[in-house]
Chain A
């Protein structure tokens, strides 16, 4: 699976949009981009995933560049409860594929 690069930490003011970048320049055509987050001392929570089109759900939006070499997770109105480590993971689709976690981005939402 392709490797991803994320900034180690980011801050965001409550109520503002949080834009978390991810670089996956070696992504292959059959690899999806997944985003998970882990709030302190909890299991990871699925946020969103996409292949090449932008995606939106009740939690976030995922913007994937046309060349698919990078993506941005957008939390439109960050709250204190969004403080967590956010993981961007690329995964080959298939029964043998597995999620491999990197170090992620620690997002701190402040008042």
Chain B
């Protein structure tokens, strides 16, 4: 199967600090990775799309200077929440898609990282 891991699974931090979340595709190479955010009782909201070796594309309303995304290799993407505030507390989920081209390429999701900012 296609396995995506995230680390850490949960994190508590103080307001004003930065938090880094790692997303790894364990058994496939992911040319594209996605970061989603989910607030309680809501659906997943796409934050950004990143392609290996290039800058991430952010969805409207997502601050690129606050949510730094790095996709330095085909198996690793990181999301850094800079100067976190309580309103950034959420469930952050990454997703990875293998391959390129016109065929249907399935996205696989990580288990999520729960962030609590005090």
**A interface, CB within 8 angstroms of B:** 32, 34, 36, 38, 41-46, 49, 51, 87, 91, 93-95, 98-104
A44 partner, pick from B6, B93, B102, beta carbons under 8 A? B93
- A contacts with B: majority SS: loop
Known: A94-B102, A101-B44. A43 touches B107 (CB 8 A): no
Complex A-B, nearest 10 residue pairs according to Cβ-Cβ distance, in ascending order:
A43-B109, A101-B44, A44-B109, A101-B43, A43-B112, A43-B93, A43-B111, A32-B104, A43-B110, A93-B104
B49 at the A interface (CB under 8 A): yes
Interchain CA distance A34-B103 in the complex, whole Å = 14
CB <8 Å contact, A103 and B43: yes
CB <8 Å contact, A49 and B106: yes
A residues in contact with B46, CB < 8 Å: 98-101
Interchain CA distance A44-B49 in the complex, whole Å = 17
B95 at the A interface (CB under 8 A): yes
CB <8 Å contact, A44 and B44: yes
Chain B: interface size category: 20 to 34
B34 partner, pick from A42, A46, A49, A98, beta carbons under 8 A? A98
**B interface, CB within 8 angstroms of A:** 4, 6, 32, 34, 36, 43-46, 49, 91, 93, 95, 100-112, 114
Interchain CA distance A87-B43 in the complex, whole Å = 10
Interchain CA distance A99-B110 in the complex, whole Å = 14
Known: A43-B109, A44-B109. A99 touches B102 (CB 8 A): no
B residues in contact with A99, CB < 8 Å: 34, 46, 95, 107
Q: Can you show 13 pairs from A to B with CB atoms below 8 A apart?
A: A32-B104, A41-B114, A43-B4, A43-B93, A46-B107, A46-B108, A46-B109, A87-B43, A93-B102, A101-B36, A101-B46, A102-B43, A103-B43
Interchain CA distance A86-B93 in the complex, whole Å = 17
Interchain CA distance A36-B108 in the complex, whole Å = 10
Interchain CA distance A99-B43 in the complex, whole Å = 12
Interchain CA distance A46-B46 in the complex, whole Å = 17
